[in-house]
């Protein structure tokens, strides 16, 4: 099993969390399966940036992002060099430390 350390997030995970996961699973699916309700407005189809995470440790173990993911990430709030869309980040055999940014750009939420 792979360990994912989720750094504290004020709304989604105030205490932080240590999660166990299997290789081949997306970070988004692992978070959701462990009651960390990360947004995924496009239903995990790489069409928005609401599931944006920053990989603080283990970034190089993930498969490189493709052009579509890179284009989406360019629109993400708080973009960093180790930013990924969690729905596109498939676990390998390396433990990760993940930070969920404080804000997302969710157009549906902004217009209500």
Q: What fold is seen in the domain 2-110?
A: Ubiquitin-like (UB roll) (3.10.20)
Per-residue pLDDT of 22-70, as tens digits, reads 999 999 999 999 999 999 999 999 999 999 999 999 999 999 999 999 9
The pTM is what? 0.92
**pLDDT of 68:** 97
Q: Where are the domains of the chain?
A: 2-110
- The answer, yes or no, to whether residue 110 has pLDDT greater than 60, is no
Per-residue pLDDT of 64-93, as tens digits, reads 999 999 999 999 989 999 999 999 999 999
User: Which string of DSSP letters, residue by residue, matches the chain?
Assistant: -EEEEEPPBTTTBTT-EEEEE-TT-BHHHHHHHTT-----TTSSSSS-STTEEEEEE-GGGSPPP-HHHHHHHTTSTT--TTEEEGGG-B--SS-EEEE--S----HHHHT-
- The answer, yes or no, to whether residue 111 has pLDDT greater than 80, is no
């Amino acid at each position: 099993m792979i360990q994912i350390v989720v750094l504290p997030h004020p709304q989604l995970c105030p205490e932080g969390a240590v999660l166990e996961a299997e290789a081949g699973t997306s970070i988004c699916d692992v978070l959701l399966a462990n009651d960390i309700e990360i947004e995924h407005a496009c239903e995990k189809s790489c069409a928005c940036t609401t599931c944006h995470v920053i990989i603080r440790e283990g970034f190089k173990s993930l498969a490189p992002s493709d052009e579509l993911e890179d284009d989406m990430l360019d629109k993400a709030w708080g973009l960093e060099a180790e930013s990924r869309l969690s729905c596109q980040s498939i676990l390998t055999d390396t433990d990760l430390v993940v930070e969920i940014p404080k804000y997302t750009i969710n157009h549906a939420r902004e217009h209500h």
